Amino acid sequence: AQSVTQPDIHITVSEGASLELRCNYSYGATPYLFWYVQSPGQGLQLLLKYFSGDTLVQGIKGFEAEFKRSQSSFNLRKPSVHWSDAAEYFCAVGAKGYSTLTFGKGTMLLVSP
Amino acid sequence: NAGVTQTPKFQVLKTGQSMTLQCAQDMNHEYMSWYRQDPGMGLRLIHYSVGAGITDQGEVPNGYNVSRSTTEDFPLRLLSAAPSQTSVYFCASSPQPGGNQPQHFGDGTRLSIL
């Protein structure tokens, strides 16, 4: 079965600074990888996904993520953070032959002025 | 274009009461699922359905029942509510079952059990 680890529970970034949120997965074959964002009181919204091909994927709101098979990682990045990016971010992994996704425990992003 | 609609948005129950959380989607999606979200625990899968008439258990199914009589609806039933079921519940759907399917989420039901 697949699993996902998000090592950072909270991260604080200054507005305008760059951001990287870490995600490590465990799965034997090529996984399907997702990043979701959850604003307070809302459901989860898909930011981006990786299935195959180019290992650098672009998403909405200026986010990108890079799949690194050698490190079993799928880190989320943004060059310049805005105050509206403050939210909780979830990494998720799916696998061929499985119906469901497995979510990480989330990273809460705080943006300081 | 409503997407995934969950009702109610908030609910307070007493221990031992029963309740049904409603979930409806208007996208003709085959796959639907229920998650609970607790602080520090992320999202944990309760039950899921790969089509009308077909349901299966997820990671934390105890204390919950589901049925899928139509493609659109996937209600979650708490048979005898317990304080440990205090949580935020999310319903999600995708066009097909499968690990490559992005999930569409509702806005959640915030449930408190006293």
Which tens digits make up the pLDDT trace of B36-95? 999 888 999 999 999 999 999 999 999 999 999 999 999 999 999 999 999 999 999 999
- pLDDT level of residue B2 (50, 70, 90 thresholds): confident
Positive or negative, the CA dihedral A85, A48, B51, A105 is: negative
- pLDDT level of residue B1 (50, 70, 90 thresholds): low
- pLDDT level of residue B30 (50, 70, 90 thresholds): very high
Shortest distance between the Cα of A33 and any Cα of chain B, in A, equals: 8
**Do A110 and A86 contact (CB within 8 A), yes or no?**
yes
Decide if pLDDT at A28 tops 80: no
pLDDT at position A82 is: 96
- pLDDT level of residue A100 (50, 70, 90 thresholds): confident
- Hey, are the CB atoms on A104 and B42 less than 8 Å from each other? yes
Shortest distance between the Cα of B15 and any Cα of chain A, in A, equals: 25
Instruction: Map tokens 């986010």 to a residue.
Output: A63
pLDDT at position A96 is: 78
Beta strand pairing call for B109-113 and B10-13: parallel
Cis peptide before B8 (omega within 30 of 0): yes
E strand or H helix that includes residue A76: strand A73-78
* Cα separation, A73 vs B72, whole angstroms: 36
| Cα B46–Cα B87–Cα A37 angle in degrees, nearest 5 | 80
Pick the closest to residue B108 from A105, A42, A106 (CA basis): A42
pLDDT at position B34 is: 97
Decide if pLDDT at A39 tops 70: yes
Q: What average pLDDT does range B16-32 have in this prediction?
A: 96
Query: Is A59 an interface residue toward B (CB < 8 Å)?
Result: no
**Do A24 and A4 contact (CB within 8 A), yes or no?**
yes
Pick the closest to residue B68 from B46, B90, B87, B53 (CA basis): B53
CB pairs under 8 A between A and B: 66
* Cα separation, B32 vs B52, whole angstroms: 10
- The overall average pLDDT reported for chain A is 93
Q: What average pLDDT does range A60-81 have in this prediction?
A: 96
Shortest distance between the Cα of B14 and any Cα of chain A, in A, equals: 23
Per-residue CA distances from B87 to B39, B41, B78 (Å): 9, 11, 12
* Cα separation, A33 vs A23, whole angstroms: 10
Structure tokens at B101: 């399917």
B73: DSSP letter: B
pLDDT at position A29 is: 75
